[in-house]
Structure 1
Amino acid sequence: MIKQIQEKINQYETIIIHRHERPDPDALGSQLGLAEVIKDRFPNKRVFVVGEEEPSLVFLGEMDHISDQEYNQALVIVCDTANTERIDDKRYDLGACLIKIDHHPNEEPYGDLVWVDTTFSSTSEMIVEFIEQGKTAGYKLNSTSALLLYAGIVGDTGRFRYTNTSPETLQRASLLVKQPFDQNAFYSNLHKKDLKITRLQGYVLQHFSILEETVGVMRLTKEDLERFNVTSTESSQLVNTFSDVEGLKVWVFFVEDGEKIRVRLRSKGPVINTIATEHSGGGHPMAAGATAYSWDETEEIVKKLVEVCK
């Protein structure tokens, strides 16, 4: 599959790379990292990255603003996005060929070529493997692509603390840190918080609840977000605020966002992505997202979390 993707990249002069909406470090790391690798290998090709900007991660790189005409006879690659509903910038289907590269369960195998492998910690780790297998074809790392892919792996492994961190993950990460980028500056940028986020974090620590000594629950209403001047997307930085509480097995953040309620699910063991799929979502067994359409529906989700912990 990697060779087939390389052949497609060879064929097209314009390449446009997408990722999922409300991007995290892996979405941006894999998107921008792959773009950097292709630009380095093919300086004359036209390579674009598209989607909405995420202010807290803009230090990784900025998006391109392109017209619909650019998609004419273009190769489109979508990174780190399990289903078409979550692809940021809905013009992904205007190109001549579509490739999906992802490490989430392949619930919607869209695209002309599909490279999905759930054994990887992150899509960024997949791009590292793409480069390793593409050495003979001229692909290589530089300091910029290494930083971006390192950011993606760090983000999706929780700084190598999550169970998706395999020996192969660490081996591939070691290839990245051999490149000359500033790790201290990266971590400083990744973990810095605006004062408003820090104040909201204090509010979360005071107001989250624990059910059955195993399920952590936090609800943020539109009024809460307005009071702290924080967006729904920005609040995602706080999903693990109380994750270290003793005895906690799963936790959930409910964040009101317009007419919907964003649901962020995390676990230390029980499988929770099955619950996410029952509520317009999906993801990994221990890290998933969903959407609720009423506060009553959030109560249903909490009851299911209590049951899965039993």
Structure 2
Amino acid sequence: MKQQIIEKIQQYDTIIIHRHVRPDPDAYGSQHGLKTLIQANFPQKAVYAVGEHDDSLTFMATPDTIADDVYEGALVIVTDTANTERVDDQRYTNGAYVIKIDHHPNDDQYGDLLWVDTSASSCSEMIYELFEEARAQFNWTMNEEVAQLLFAGIVGDTGRFMFPSTTLKTFRTAGDLVEYGFNRNHVFNGMYEMDRKLLNLQGYLYQNFEMTDKGMAYVRLTKEALAQFDATPSEASLLVGSLGNVKGITAWVIFIEEGDSIRVRLRSKGPVINTLAKEFNGGGHPLASGATAYSWEEADRVVARLQEIVCDYKEAQ
């Protein structure tokens, strides 16, 4: 599969790379890392990374803005995106050929060519694996910028190497990337430094979450709460892992109100929760998923279902 992807990259003069909406570091890392990798080895090619920009990821990269006609005859690669509904910029279908590179469960088998590896810690790890294949066969090279982007993506999706998805291969990949000498402090500061307002919002989150005796927890961040701390929904999403620090919590959900919908951020220390996410317009990894609710009544149903999942998990132990 990697061989076929490399051949397609070599074949096309215009390459457009997409990723999922509401991007995280792995979305940017895999997308912009692949873009920069191709540019480093094929400076004559036109390579673009598109999608709505998230200001919290400016330290990594900024997406390109392109006209519709750029898609004519182009190769389109979609990274880190499980299903078509979550592809940021639906023009991805306008290209001549579509490749899917992803590490989520392959429930939506879109594209002309698919490379899905659910054992990978991140899509950024997969891009490094693609590079290794291309280096061995065609002497591709990697620079400091590519290494930094992929490293940030891996760190983001592994929770600083704390999540169970982290493998020996992940550590080896990270070690190889570190050898390129980029500034790791720049990466960690960009990912984990917070404005004071977000720290205050985090305090509100800790003071207002609800927890059941089974270890299921949830908190609602309404528009009013966000306004109180002058925080955007994207900024609030950076706090999704906070409840994982609370002893006794097995799985949790953070609801973040945004416009006419509610972001649903699910996390778990054991129970599989991506099946729940799929019930509510979402998906993701077994222990880290996202979904969307369209009313607080629907959010209550998410809480009830998560409680059922946690109870079943506890009984099975």
TM-score band by shorter chain is over 0.9
Retained in 1: the 8 A contact 2:102–2:117? yes
- Range with greater deviation from structure 2 (241-250 or 145-154): 241-250
Tell me the secondary structure at the aligned position of residue 243 of structure 2: coil
Tell me the secondary structure at the aligned position of residue 242 of structure 1: helix
Matches of 1:256 and 1:58, distance apart in 2:
23
After superposition, residues 177-216 of structure 1 pair within 5 angstroms as 177-216=178-217
* 1:15, distance to aligned residue in structure 2 (A): 0.5
Tell me the secondary structure at the aligned position of residue 243 of structure 1: helix
Q: TM-score, normalised by structure 1?
A: 0.98
Partner of 1:87: 87
Q: Give the aligned residue type for 1:82.
A: A
Retained in 2: the 8 A contact 1:27–1:152? yes
How many residue pairs match? The answer is 310
Q: Give the aligned residue type for 1:103.
A: H
Retained in 1: the 8 A contact 2:261–2:294? yes
Matches of 1:17 and 1:266, distance apart in 2:
28
Tell me the secondary structure at the aligned position of residue 169 of structure 2: helix
Tell me the secondary structure at the aligned position of residue 219 of structure 1: strand
* 1:16-42 superposed Cα distances (whole Å, 9 cap, x missing partner): 111111110000000000011100110
Q: Give the aligned residue type for 1:69.
A: D
Matches of 1:138 and 1:32, distance apart in 2:
21
Partner of 1:38: 38
% of aligned pairs identical? 53
After superposition, residues 42-81 of structure 1 pair within 5 angstroms as 42-81=42-81
Tell me the secondary structure at the aligned position of residue 16 of structure 1: strand
Partner of 1:304: 305
* 1:242, distance to aligned residue in structure 2 (A): 2.2
- Range with greater deviation from structure 2 (102-111 or 200-209): 200-209
Partner of 1:293: 294
Partner of 2:314: none
Retained in 1: the 8 A contact 2:214–2:310? no
* 1:280, distance to aligned residue in structure 2 (A): 1.1
- Range with greater deviation from structure 2 (123-132 or 229-238): 229-238
* 1:196, distance to aligned residue in structure 2 (A): 2.0
Retained in 1: the 8 A contact 2:202–2:242? yes
Partner of 2:2: 2
- Range with greater deviation from structure 2 (146-155 or 269-278): 269-278
* 1:138, distance to aligned residue in structure 2 (A): 2.5
Matches of 2:275 and 2:213, distance apart in 1:
21
Partner of 2:315: none
Retained in 2: the 8 A contact 1:212–1:306? no
Retained in 1: the 8 A contact 2:243–2:249? no
Tell me the secondary structure at the aligned position of residue 142 of structure 2: coil
- Range with greater deviation from structure 2 (141-150 or 229-238): 229-238
Structure 1 runs not aligned, ≥5 long: none
Partner of 2:161: 160
* 1:213, distance to aligned residue in structure 2 (A): 4.6
- Range with greater deviation from structure 2 (293-302 or 111-120): 293-302
Q: Give the aligned residue type for 1:88.
A: D
Retained in 2: the 8 A contact 1:15–1:47? yes
Matches of 1:166 and 1:251, distance apart in 2:
24
- Range with greater deviation from structure 2 (188-197 or 162-171): 188-197
Retained in 2: the 8 A contact 1:221–1:256? yes
Tell me the secondary structure at the aligned position of residue 76 of structure 2: strand
Matches of 2:61 and 2:55, distance apart in 1:
10
Q: Give the aligned residue type for 1:48.
A: Y
* 1:295, distance to aligned residue in structure 2 (A): 1.2
* 1:198-242 superposed Cα distances (whole Å, 9 cap, x missing partner): 221111111111112501111011111222221211111011122
Pair 1:280 & 2:281 matched: yes
Q: TM-score, normalised by structure 2?
A: 0.96
Matches of 1:238 and 1:267, distance apart in 2:
14
Partner of 1:28: 28
After superposition, residues 179-258 of structure 1 pair within 5 angstroms as 179-258=180-259
Matches of 1:190 and 1:262, distance apart in 2:
20
Q: Give the aligned residue type for 1:113.
A: L
Matches of 2:277 and 2:63, distance apart in 1:
30
Matches of 1:86 and 1:145, distance apart in 2:
25
Retained in 2: the 8 A contact 1:76–1:95? yes
Retained in 2: the 8 A contact 1:41–1:138? no
Structure 2 runs not aligned, ≥5 long: 312-317
Query: What is the RMSD computed on CA atoms of the aligned residues?
Result: 1.0
Partner of 1:176: 177
Retained in 1: the 8 A contact 2:120–2:126? yes
